[in-house]
Amino acid sequence: MVRLITHNLLACHVKGCTTNNFPLTFQDVQIELQEAEFNPEFVRNLLSRLDWAALVDAAKQVGDTSLPPEEPEMMDDDLLKKLHHVLLEIHVIEGAMTCPNCKHVYPISNGIPNMLLAEHEIG
C-alpha cells in the first residue's frame, strides 16, 4: 500500500537523477481511509525519520490539511493522533507519483506502487 509513511521514504532512482528527487508528487490519486490501531509511542519515535515538509505537502495532495506547516517542538496527544491518521490511515489506492526533478512517473495500482525501472533507466 502507499501510505504517507512509505511515500516519505521513497525517492526517484532513475539513472542520474540524484538531486531534487524527493519527495515524489502524488497525481490523480484515489484514496481510502482505513482505521489503524493508535500507538503513540510508535508515532513519537518515528518522527526523527520523517521529512516534515514533505509529509505536510503530501498530506495536502491527498486532501488532508490537519498538520501545521512547521514541525512543532512539543508533540501533544492531539497532534500525535493527527500524525497517526496522516501517516497510517490514508491509503493511496490508485494514481501515480512523479519525480519533481526528472518527471519519471511511478504508477500506483491496487495499492501497490511500481518502482521498477526499464533497463536503460537504471543507474
Partner 1 sequence: MQNITPTVVVNDPQSYEDRHVHTVYDQIATHFSSTRYKPWPIIAQFLSSLPDGWIGLDSGTGNGKYLPLPVDRPNSILTIGLDRSRNLLEIARYAGNESQSHHNIREVVWGDVLGDVWRSGIFDYAISIATIHHLASYERRKLAVQRLIQCVSPKHGRILIYVWAIEQDKLSKRKLPLDDQQVHQAGQDVFVPWVMSHPNTKNRAKKHGDTLISNSRESEGEQTLKITEVYHRYYHMFAKEELTQLVHDAARELGLCIGSFEGFSEQHSRGIDIVQESWERSNYFVELKCWQSSD
Part in contact with partner 1 (CB under 8 A); list of ranges 46-54, 60-68, 70-78? 46-54
Decide: is 11 part of the binding site for partner 1 (CB under 8 A): yes
Decide: is 41 part of the binding site for partner 1 (CB under 8 A): yes
CB 7 within 8 A of CB 93: no
Decide: is 118 part of the binding site for partner 1 (CB under 8 A): no
Decide: is 115 part of the binding site for partner 1 (CB under 8 A): yes
Which of 37/70 has CB closer to partner 1? 37
DSSP letters along 28-64, please?
A: EEEEEE------HHHHHHHGGG--HHHHHHHHHHTT-
Q: Looking only at residues 55 through 114 of this chain, which bind partner 1 when binding is defined by CB under 8 A?
A: 91, 110-114
Contacting residue, 13, 81, 82, 104, with partner 1 by CB under 8 A:
13
How deeply is 23 buried, as exposed, middle or buried, from its count of CB atoms within 10 A (0-12, 13-18, 19+)? Answer: buried
The span from the CA of 103 to the CA of 24, in Å, is: 9
